C-alpha cells in the first residue's frame, strides 16, 4: 500500500533536526544562516517555518495525482506505487513547467548552474519504497513527523485530534486538496495560518488540462474530414473546367 508522511504542527517544537537530516541525506551544506532563511531552495529541500509561537513545515506534498508528473513533457516525474513522487534527472530538459504547475510551489531550480536540474524532496523513496521511514521522520524526537501507511497515519491524525480536541483545528490537510496528497498535516489553527495554500481545487489538477487535451484525437480526425470536405467542395470548379477542357 501507499505510504504517507504526517506532520503534526502541535507536536513540533521547531528544533530543525528534520532540516539537518534532510541536508545530510542530500549532502547539502547546512549552516545557521541556511537554517534561519526558512525558505526552500535547491540547497534546502525542506524547511521549518515559524508562525508566532507555532511551527509548520514545507516539503513536497507528494500529491496522489501530481501536477508536476502530468505536465512534464518528458515524464521526468513519476508517482511511484509506494507513494513518493520521484524525479529522473537524466530525462529533464529544463522547461520548468513543473515549477509553474506545482500548487504548493515546491520544486526548486539550480538557477546558478550552467546545466541546472530540478531539486525537490523525494520522500526518501530509496527507504520508503522498502518499508523504511524518511530521514526527517527518523530525526524527529517528538513524532511530529512520522511515516507510515497512508490509511494508518490518517487514523493516527484522527486519534490525535479526537484525544485533545482543544489543541487541534478539526481537519487534516491533504485529504482533499488537489485530489489528496501523500503528505498530511494537522495543527492547532486553520492551515492558512501555517503557511499552507487553502482554497485549492478538490479535483486533481491534471484533470483540468486533460479536459482540453482529451480532444486532440477528435480534432485530428474531424479536422481532416472537414478540411478534405471543404477542399472537395471548393475545388469542384477546376474539375469541371478540366473535364470540359478535355472534351474540346
Partner 1 sequence: MSRFMPRTFWQWVFAALMALAAYATYIRIFYGLGGSTNLSDEFPWGIWVGFDILCGVGLAAGGFTLAAIVHIFNIEEFKPVVRPAILTAFLGYVLVVVALMFDLGQPHRVWHPLVHWNPRSVMFEVGWCVTLYTTVLFLEFLPVVLERLGLKKARRVLRGVMLPIIIMGVILSTLHQSSLGSLYLIANGKLNTLWYTPLLPVLFYISAIAVGLAMTIFESWHSSKAFGRELEWPLIQKLSRALAVVIAVYLTMRFLDLSRRGAWAALEDPGWESRLFVLEIMLTAVPMLLLFREKTRQNPHTMYVAVTMFLFGFVVNRLNIAVTGMERAAGVAYIPKWTEVVITLAIVAAGFAIFALAAKHLPIFEPAHGSEQEAEGAPNGVQPAATPGD
Binding site for partner 1 (CB under 8 A): 40-41, 67, 70-76, 91-97, 99-101, 103, 105, 107-117, 197, 199-201, 205-206, 208-213, 216, 219-220, 223-224, 227-228, 230-231, 234-235, 237-238, 241-242, 245-246, 248
Complex with partner 1: residue 83 or 206, whichever CB lies closer = 206
What minimum distance in Å lies between the beta carbon of 222 and partner 1? 9
Neighbours of 180 (CB within 10 A): 17
Complex with partner 1: residue 165 or 228, whichever CB lies closer = 228
Complex with partner 1: residue 163 or 243, whichever CB lies closer = 243
Instruction: Mark 57-71 as b/e (b = at least 16 C-beta within 10 Å).
Output: bbbbbbbbbbbbbbb
What minimum distance in Å lies between the beta carbon of 168 and partner 1? 26
- Give one DSSP letter per residue of 97-117, joined into a string: HHHHH-TT---EE-TTSSS--
Cα 169 from chain centre: 24
Complex with partner 1: residue 158 or 236, whichever CB lies closer = 236
What minimum distance in Å lies between the beta carbon of 148 and partner 1? 29
What minimum distance in Å lies between the beta carbon of 122 and partner 1? 17
Does residue 123 contact residue 62 with C-beta atoms inside 8 Å? yes
Phi, psi angles (nearest 5°) of residue 66 = -70, 140
What minimum distance in Å lies between the beta carbon of 241 and partner 1? 5
Does residue 87 contact residue 75 with C-beta atoms inside 8 Å? no
Amino acid at each position: 500500500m501507499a505510504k504517507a508522511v504526517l506532520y503534526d504542527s502541535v507536536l513540533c517544537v521547531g528544533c530543525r533536526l528534520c532540516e539537518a537530516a534532510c541536508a545530510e541525506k542530500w549532502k547539502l551544506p547546512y549552516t545557521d544562516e541556511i537554517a534561519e532563511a526558512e525558505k526552500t531552495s535547491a540547497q534546502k529541500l525542506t524547511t521549518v517555518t515559524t508562525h508566532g509561537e507555532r511551527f509548520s513545515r514545507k516539503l513536497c506534498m507528494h500529491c496522489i495525482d501530481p501536477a508536476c508528473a502530468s505536465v512534464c513533457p518528458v515524464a521526468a516525474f513519476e508517482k511511484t506505487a509506494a507513494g513518493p513522487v520521484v524525479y529522473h534527472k537524466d530525462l529533464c530538459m529544463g522547461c520548468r513547467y513543473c515549477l509553474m504547475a506545482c500548487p504548493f510551489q515546491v520544486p526548486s531550480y539550480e538557477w546558478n548552474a550552467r546545466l541546472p536540474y530540478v531539486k525537490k524532496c523525494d520522500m526518501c523513496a530509496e527507504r520508503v519504497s522498502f518499508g523504511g521511514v524518511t530521514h526527517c521522520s527518523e530525526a524527529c524526537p517528538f513524532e511530529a513527523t512520522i511515516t507510515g501507511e497512508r490509511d494508518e497515519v490518517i487514523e493516527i491524525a484522527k486519534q490525535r485530534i479526537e484525544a485533545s480536541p482543544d489543541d487541534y483545528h478539526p481537519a487534516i490537510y491533504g485529504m482533499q486538496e488537489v485530489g489528496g496528497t501523500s503528505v498530511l498535516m494537522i495543527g492547532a489553527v486553520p492551515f492558512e495560518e501555517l503557511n499552507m495554500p487553502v482554497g485549492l481545487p478538490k479535483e486533481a489538477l491534471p484533470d483540468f488540462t486533460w479536459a482540453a487535451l482529451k480532444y486532440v484525437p477528435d480534432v485530428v480526425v474531424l479536422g481532416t474530414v472537414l478540411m478534405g470536405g471543404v477542399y472537395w467542395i471548393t475545388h469542384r470548379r477546376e474539375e469541371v473546367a478540366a473535364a470540359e477542357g478535355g472534351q474540346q
